[in-house]
């Protein structure tokens, strides 16, 4: 399964397919990226993030850690050698203005920022991001992801 060509959809119906895509995706991420994860609740955003971070850990000969959704804390942070990974889940944000104090758009080439529910951020206009859009298909039986760079 090749990594997506710009604006293509990839089948992630099974967890195995999600894991394979996350593994391939890590090869393209070097640091300094903002990755926006769009999609309904339960469609696979956090599962993708889990496999993405675990693959970074594996590539750096580190033990895999448990990766959970930061729904209640808003942010989980992971250190993988010299790369920091910030995983935001903004689902509980009530007003876009509430994101202003989170310092989400810290610029650092040694930082990867993953944001679930980025549409809840006050202003993303000037942010260069990689957008991953997770979707249900066929009456919720199948799932896909679309990658836009």
pLDDT in tens, 117-137: 999 887 777 789 999 999 998
SS3 32: coil
Confidence band for 2, pLDDT divided at 50, 70 and 90: very low
pTM across the whole model: 0.90
Which whole number is the average pLDDT over 77-106?
89
Q: What's the maximum distance between 2 C-alpha atoms anywhere in the chain?
A: 43
Query: What is the tens place of the pLDDT at every residue in 24-34?
Result: 999 999 999 99
- Do the beta carbons of residue 17 and residue 9 sit within 8 Å? no
Query: What is the tens place of the pLDDT at every residue in 134-147?
Result: 999 887 789 999 99
Confidence band for 97, pLDDT divided at 50, 70 and 90: confident
């Amino acid at each position: 399964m090749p990594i997506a060509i710009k604006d293509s959809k990839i089948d992630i119906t099974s967890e195995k397919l999600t894991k394979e895509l996350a593994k391939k995706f890590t090869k393209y991420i070097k640091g300094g990226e903002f990755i926006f994860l769009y999609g309904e609740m339960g469609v696979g955003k956090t599962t993708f993030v889990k496999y993405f971070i675990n693959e970074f850990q594996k590539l750096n000969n580190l033990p895999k850690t448990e990766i959970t959704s930061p729904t209640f804390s808003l942010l989980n942070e992971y250190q993988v050698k010299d790369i920091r990974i910030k995983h935001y889940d903004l689902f509980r944000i009530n007003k876009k203005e509430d994101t202003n104090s989170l310092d989400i758009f810290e610029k650092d080439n040694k930082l990867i920022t993953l944001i679930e529910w980025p549409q809840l951020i006050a202003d993303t206009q000037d942010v260069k991001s990689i957008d991953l859009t997770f979707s249900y298909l066929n009456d919720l039986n199948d799932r896909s992801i679309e990658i836009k760079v």
